Structure 1
Amino acid sequence: MEPRNQTNVSEFLLLGLTDDPEVQSLLFCLFLSVYLVTILGNMLIFLAVISDSHLHTPMYFFLSNLSFTDICLSTITIPKMLVNMKSQNQHITYTGCLLQVWFVLVFICFENCLLATMAYDRYVAICHPLMYTVIMNPRYCRLLILFSLFISIGDALLHSLMALQLSFCTDLEIPHFFCELAHVIKLACSDSFINIFVANVMASVLSGISLSGIIFSYTHIISSLLQMPRVGRKYKAFSTCGSHFSVVSLFYGTAVGVYISSAVTDSSRRTAVASVMYIVVPQMLNPFIYSLRNRDMKGALRKIFSRISFL
């Protein structure tokens, strides 16, 4: 089969999660509900942090950025899938597909960096409480966010520009509900070894650095917590760290699950179903994890609901 230059590729075909019309109708309702819950939950967290002066601290500043990232990540993938299901048109343009690849990479990487930054924030707060306000000053927090965003955009730009150099054949079916980099690379007729190598190396390096930072932070946090004499202070520290640790476990646990699933099965459709666990589920559950386990967040949310009830 002769390869076609990428400039002649007009669109890809997203096969989605199933071909069964009845199951598609069920999935449409399910994912619409998940998307609405995700947007509402993360928007409430975002508004609570902005509106309540008691939450204008580094921890909640990073949390509001995490909520914004979850909103963006869900909006990039789910609405397009819902439109495809409703219209029975599973096509996506070549430009739209590469843009989706770029945005997904940006926000996945940004969330990865954010989780490491939040772990560092908890480490400073618990292990160096007297220096916390000095170290985690507003300017430094903004720099951490900008640096994380810079790394995320650079990583996504690298993979997207390399994908632009690939040539594709006539078989442009992506067995997924969104344009994932690995599936796009598999469709290439030209040599894609460099793309695969760079993708694996960058994913290993970025996730490895973040995980190492998280493990380092929590090792010192646990050591400090065990030495705390006051039970009340220890409980509060465990509570704030417990929420973050739950989010970290959910994010990396689902990602590892998808990797294992893709390694042990040859079915791309099953891998796509498994991908729901890291591209959809964590973004929906994060607001519940933080709001249910955090007294300050509960109070801020009550204020928002009370204002709404008076309108």
Structure 2
Amino acid sequence: MDPRNHTDVTEFLLLGLIQDPEMQPLLFGVFLSLYLVTILGNLLIILAVISDPHLHTPMYFFLSHLSLGDICLSTTTIPKMLVNIQAQNQHISYTGCLTQICFVLVFIGFESCLLAAMAYDRYVAICHPLMYTVIMNPQLCVQLILLSLLLSIVDALLHSLMVLRLSFCTNREVPHFFCELAQVIKLACSDTLINNFVIFVMFSLFVGVFSGIIYSYAQIVSSVLQMPSAGGRYKAFSTCGSHLSVVSLFYATGVSVYINSAVAGSSRKAAAASVMYTVVPQMMNPFIFSLRNRDMKGAFRKLIRRISLL
């Protein structure tokens, strides 16, 4: 089969999670509900952090940006899927697919770096409490946000530009509910060695960031266990436990999807598993970070009272 140059490719087909027509309305309802809960929950966190002066601290500063990233990542993938189901049209343009790849990578990378920044914040707060306000000053917090955004944009642009050099054959079916980088690369007829090498390098950096987070929490656990007060230990574990659960869900699923896609090549399983790091954490983050946080619950109550008085 002769390869076609990518300039001839005008669109791809997103096969989605389920191809059974009878299941499409159920899938539409489930993902619409997930999306609305994600938007509402994360928007409430952002508004609560902005409106309550008690939450103007590095931890909540990072949390509000994580919520913003959650909203953006969910908006990059879910609405297009809902439109395709409603219109019974699986097509996505070549430009739209490339744009989706770029933005998904930007926000996944941004969340990954933010989780690392939040882990560092908790490490300083628990392991070096006397130096916390000096180390975690507003300038450093802003610099960490900007660095996270810069790294994620560079990573996304690198992968997107590498896709531009590929040629595609007549098979344009992406076995996914969005244009996932690895699945699009598999459709190429031209040599993808460089693309896969870049993915491997970036994946290694991804694992390196995760290792840094694990190291931070290992130090945190060691410091917490040395606390004489049982109440202090409980508060520290309660604060860090929610963050660690989000980190575990996000990273563990991302790593498993990459390994499954690279080794087993099971596209359908990878598509289903990707929901666990592109949809579920973004919906669960507001609940995980807020339900056991007294400050957040107080801020929510104040915010709801203000809204009700409008």
TM norm structure 2: 0.97
How many angstroms does 1:171 deviate by?
A: 1.3
2:187 maps to amino acid: L
* Separation of aligned partners in 2, 1:293 and 1:251: 20
Q: Match of 2:44? A: 44
Residues 1:223 and 2:216 aligned together? no
Residues 1:189 and 2:189 aligned together? yes
Residues 1:56 and 2:47 aligned together? no
1:103 maps to amino acid: F
Structure 1 stretch displaced more, 159-168 or 214-223: 214-223
Do the aligned partners of 1:261 and 1:274 also contact (CA within 8 Å) in 2?
no
C-alpha RMSD of matched pairs (Å): 1.3
* Separation of aligned partners in 2, 1:63 and 1:165: 37
Residues 1:176 and 2:176 aligned together? yes
Same amino acid, percent of matched pairs: 74
- CA gap 1:265/1:162 in 2 versus in 1, 3 angstroms: closer
How many angstroms does 1:270 deviate by?
A: 2.6
Deviations 1:163-197 (A, max 9, x none): 10001112111011000000111111111111011
Structure 1: any 5+ residue segments left out of the alignment?
none
Q: Match of 1:294? A: 293
* Separation of aligned partners in 2, 1:160 and 1:20: 32
Structure 1 stretch displaced more, 98-107 or 225-234: 225-234
Deviations 1:63-109 (A, max 9, x none): 00100000000000000000000001110010100000000011111
Q: Secondary structure at the match of 2:291?
A: helix
* Separation of aligned partners in 1, 2:258 and 2:188: 21
Matches within 5 A, 1:96-175: 96-175=96-175
Q: Match of 1:12? A: 12
Matches within 5 A, 1:161-310: 161-205=161-205, 207-259=206-258, 261-262=260-261, 265-310=264-309
Write out the 4+ residue segments of structure 1 that deviate beyond 4 Å after TM superposition: 263-266
Do the aligned partners of 1:72 and 1:107 also contact (CA within 8 Å) in 2?
yes
Structure 2: any 5+ residue segments left out of the alignment?
none
User: How many corresponding residue pairs?
Assistant: 310
* Separation of aligned partners in 2, 1:7 and 1:181: 18
Q: Secondary structure at the match of 1:92?
A: strand
How many angstroms does 1:231 deviate by?
A: 2.5
Q: Match of 2:21? A: 21
